[in-house]
Amino acid sequence: MTVNDVTSADVMQRWLPYRAQTGAAADALALFCLPHAGGGASAYRAWQNRLPGVAVLPVQPAGRENRLREPPYERMAPLVSDLADVILAEVGGGRRYAVYGHSLGALVSFELLREIRRRGGPEPVHLFVSGCVAPHRPFDDGPPVRDMSRPELVEMLRKLGGTPDWLLNDPSVLEMILPAIQADFSVKETYEYYAEPALNVPITALPSTDDPRAGRGLVAGWRDQTMGRFDLHTFVGGHFAVFEQAKLTHKHISEALRAWA
């Protein structure tokens, strides 16, 4: 094995730390799952082996969990460029794949697919988005999170939900997780949407009734970003309802991928 091979294997392991899983064939349809701001690959680990015929591959951005020592991305373009390298390497042999993104992960997923298209890479069979306003729809999220003080950021996370109180009450833990959270929000808050042709990929959007950052009407705007089929399934709950009601989420994913998995 050459030095380049070792480096390549190391890069793939950092981005896709949970590739090995039982019950999924090596050539099974890959579902790349991108986390919310501040989230990591572990958010999707419980989804593995829950979708028949699908290999769930949680994506690990820099700056958290096994990549805690790496500086997190603060802008969209370098993030999707590096991630596209990883995805194309994983599916380069003709493996079918789909992409799921929650909140910031949905926006990154969208730009990732546009980057892959610009490179002439293979399109996924489906895109799933949740907790995220359609990229072309303007929406006021309030004061920039990247500029918040620590108390302001902690209070914002409490209101949003999804982060246990014990984490928010532990100063040593906050030291570890807040840099990635603020960097991720910087990715979102500096993002600029540029019009391109709609994706030739079916999209399923999964909004929630009580999501303060992604109301159903604004999430429904994702229908404008596909030339293919668009489905919308509304959850009762808040910003993280798709994780709190994982069985229902898996049902919608399985139904959308039934022809491929």
Q: Is 103 a catalytic residue?
A: yes
DSSP notation for the chain: --HHHHHHHHHHHHH-TT---TT--TTSEEEEEEPPTT--GGGGGGGTTSSTTEEEEE---TTSGGGTTSPPP-SHHHHHHHHHHHHHHHHTTS--EEEEEETHHHHHHHHHHHHHHHTTPPPPS-EEEES---TTS-----S-GGG--HHHHHHHHHHH--S-HHHHT-HHHHHHHHHHHHHHHHHHHT------PPBSS-EEEE-BTT-TTS-HHHHGGGGGGBSS-EEE--BSSSTTHHHHTHHHHHHHHHHHHTTT-
Catalytically annotated residue among 8, 42, 81, 103: 103
C-alpha–C-alpha distance, residues 56 and 172, integer Å: 31
Q: Among all residues, which ones are annotated catalytic? A: 103
